[in-house]
């Protein structure tokens, strides 16, 4: 029953999109404002006192927790990538609300809160996990100068949204006010499905780094002979293929998802090409070792083609291990659903939990998604898996409550 409600709510949130055809919901947009209001209303129905924080996250605390006891946070995010599915992040928020609803009258040794983060994906401003980093005390005012693809600064977007840009940092929770953070999320990979499991325990979230890489050559007429060309796009193309080869050899997932060329004309040799690189690995050391090999190759290509290379890092996060006690709680939660031997997974995908790890212990519960497909409209989950996820997260909270008594 509650799983049916979660799926219906995910369908409803999916209608709040900047695109008519496909889902796009970025930080500090009118779409976010609408889903924040809806999520706050659902939190209130679930017996939570709901409020928007200074960073445009929506928080909800059980009405009965009207004291300053430290809280266990349950959460995930409501923003999306362009062309998203309807469950990445959203499922975790909706499952958390169901669990809070079920536990509204439970006698717990800690307060219980739900948090719906406003920016995990970094779709609009490039930097990622802005909502969760603000809550965890990692907000930097220098981010106010970041711009979106239309040149709007984060400062102006925040003001238009109704925030006070200089106050965003005060969304930070005091370290002693939180005892832990649990996040339920679709797996975004095929491993649970391949093993015939609905749920899994996350051990660690992989280290990640995002960079913008550019080659500058010379824009010239396409009549220019080969030996006189300094084609930035050919340099970028060779680099992208090299990145695939090196990253595959090293076992570090790498993605070039964005590319831009200047002057972007059919009969002009590209004088400038810029592309993104998202590089991940189970450990920061592994990620950095792979980057060292890539960097060497980027430089070799620059010299060989007579191009200037520039690299800027836009986001870096070390691996974020889930704590032993929250891993045990998630495993106990899964066992309560009838899976006696829950499987453990490393998350290659990034999550709000990575940012919250700077504040408190983290734990994550993964839910099977069809074909492992995510960041795509075909993202899908089974109703019985969602039901199991709600049961497991509730049981995990109760397990933690027993540990804290």
Q: CB–CB of 141/32 below 8 Å? A: no
Q: CB–CB of 117/171 below 8 Å? A: no
Collect all residues with Cβ–Cβ distance below 8 Å to 192 and sequence separation of at least 6. 198, 199, 200, 343, 345, 366, 367, 368
Q: Compute the least distance from the CB of residue 285 to ligand GLV, in Å.
A: 20
Strand stretches in 78-198, DSSP E? 111-117, 178-186
- Give the pairing of strands 111-117 and 71-77: parallel
Q: Compute the least distance from the CB of residue 80 to Mn ion, in Å.
A: 7
Q: Compute the least distance from the CB of residue 88 to ligand GLV, in Å.
A: 6
Q: Compute the least distance from the CB of residue 210 to ligand GLV, in Å.
A: 8
Q: In the complex with Mn ion, which residue's Cβ is closer, 101 or 183?
A: 183
Q: Is 89 in the site for Mn ion (CB under 5 A)?
A: yes
Q: In the complex with Mn ion, which residue's Cβ is closer, 88 or 391?
A: 88
CA–CA distance, 180 with 70 (Å, rounded to integer): 9
* Strand partners for 117: 77
Considering CB distances under 5 to 8 angstroms, the limit depending on partner class, which of ligand GLV, Mn ion, none binds residue 350? Answer: ligand GLV
Span of 55-63, 86-94, 135-143, 378-386 interacting with Mn ion by CB under 5 A: 86-94
Q: CB–CB of 379/371 below 8 Å? A: no
Size of the site for Mn ion (CB under 5 A): 2
Reduce the secondary structure of 102-123 to three states and give it as a string.
HCCCCCCCCEEEEEEECCCCCC
Q: In the complex with Mn ion, which residue's Cβ is closer, 61 or 86?
A: 86
CA–CA distance, 55 with 50 (Å, rounded to integer): 14
CA–CA distance, 113 with 89 (Å, rounded to integer): 17
Size of the site for ligand GLV (CB under 6 A): 3
Q: Is 349 in the site for ligand GLV (CB under 6 A)?
A: yes
Binds ligand GLV (CB under 6 A): choice among 85, 200, 350, 363? 350
Q: In the complex with ligand GLV, which residue's Cβ is closer, 2 or 32?
A: 32
Q: CB–CB of 112/102 below 8 Å? A: no
User: Nearest to Mn ion by Cβ — which residue?
Assistant: 89
* Strand partners for 281: 207
Q: In the complex with Mn ion, which residue's Cβ is closer, 119 or 231?
A: 119
Q: Is 271 in the site for ligand GLV (CB under 6 A)?
A: no
Q: For residue 114, which of 10, 54, 43 has the smallest C-alpha distance?
A: 43
Q: In the complex with Mn ion, which residue's Cβ is closer, 83 or 149?
A: 83
Span of 51-59, 62-70, 80-88, 250-258 interacting with Mn ion by CB under 5 A: 80-88
CA–CA distance, 2 with 154 (Å, rounded to integer): 37
Considering CB distances under 5 to 8 angstroms, the limit depending on partner class, which of Mn ion, ligand GLV, none binds residue 391? Answer: none
Q: In the complex with ligand GLV, which residue's Cβ is closer, 129 or 158?
A: 129
Q: What does the radius of gyration of the chain's CA atoms come to, in whole angstroms?
A: 22
Q: Is 121 in the site for ligand GLV (CB under 6 A)?
A: yes
Binds Mn ion (CB under 5 A): choice among 31, 79, 88, 319? 88
State the residues that interact with Mn ion by CB under 5 A. 88-89
State the residues that interact with ligand GLV by CB under 6 A. 121, 349-350
């Amino acid at each position: 029953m509650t799983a049916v409600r979660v799926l219906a709510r995910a369908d409803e949130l999916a209608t709040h999109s900047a695109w008519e055809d496909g889902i796009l919901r970025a930080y500090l947009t009118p779409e976010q404002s609408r889903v924040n209001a809806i999520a706050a209303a659902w939190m209130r129905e679930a017996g939570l006192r709901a409020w928007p924080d200074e960073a445009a996250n929506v928080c909800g605390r059980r009405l009965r927790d009207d004291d300053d006891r430290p809280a266990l946070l349950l959460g995930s995010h409501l923003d999306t990538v362009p062309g998203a599915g309807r469950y990445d992040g959203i499922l975790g928020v909706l499952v958390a609300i169901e669990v809070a609803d079920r536990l509204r009258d439970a006698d717990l040794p800690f307060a219980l809160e739900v948090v719906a983060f406003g920016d995990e994906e970094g779709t609009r401003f490039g930097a990622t996990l802005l909502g969760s980093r603000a809550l965890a005390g990692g907000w930097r005012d220098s981010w106010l100068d970041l711009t979106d693809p239309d040149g709007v600064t984060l400062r102006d977007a925040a003001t238009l949204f109704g925030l006070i840009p200089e106050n965003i940092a005060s969304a930070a929770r005091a370290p002693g006010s939180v005892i832990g953070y649990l996040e339920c999320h679709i797996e975004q990979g095929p491993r649970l499905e391949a093993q015939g499991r609905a749920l899994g325990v996350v051990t660690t979230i992989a280290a990640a780094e995002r960079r913008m890489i550019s080659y500058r050559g010379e824009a010239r007429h396409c009549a220019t002979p080969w030996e006189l060309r300094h084609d930035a796009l050919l340099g970028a193309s060779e680099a992208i293929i090299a990145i695939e080869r090196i990253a595959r050899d090293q076992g570090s997932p790498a993605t070039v998802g964005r590319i831009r060329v200047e002057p972007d004309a059919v009969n002009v040799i590209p004088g400038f090409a810029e592309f993104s690189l998202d590089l991940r690995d189970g450990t920061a050391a592994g990620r950095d070792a792979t980057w060292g090999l890539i960097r060497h190759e980027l430089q070799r290509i620059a010299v060989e083609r007579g191009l200037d290379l520039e690299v800027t890092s836009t986001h870096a996060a070390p691996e974020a291990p889930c704590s032993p006690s929250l891993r045990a709680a998630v495993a106990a939660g899964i066992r309560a659903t009838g899976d006696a031997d829950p499987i453990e997974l490393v998350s290659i995908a990034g999550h709000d939990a990575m940012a919250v790890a700077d504040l408190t212990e983290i734990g994550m519960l993964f839910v099977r998604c069809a074909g492992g497909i995510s960041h795509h409209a075909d993202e899908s989950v089974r109703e019985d898996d969602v039901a199991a996820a709600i049961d497991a997260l509730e049981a995990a909270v109760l397990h933690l409550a027993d540990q804290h008594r």
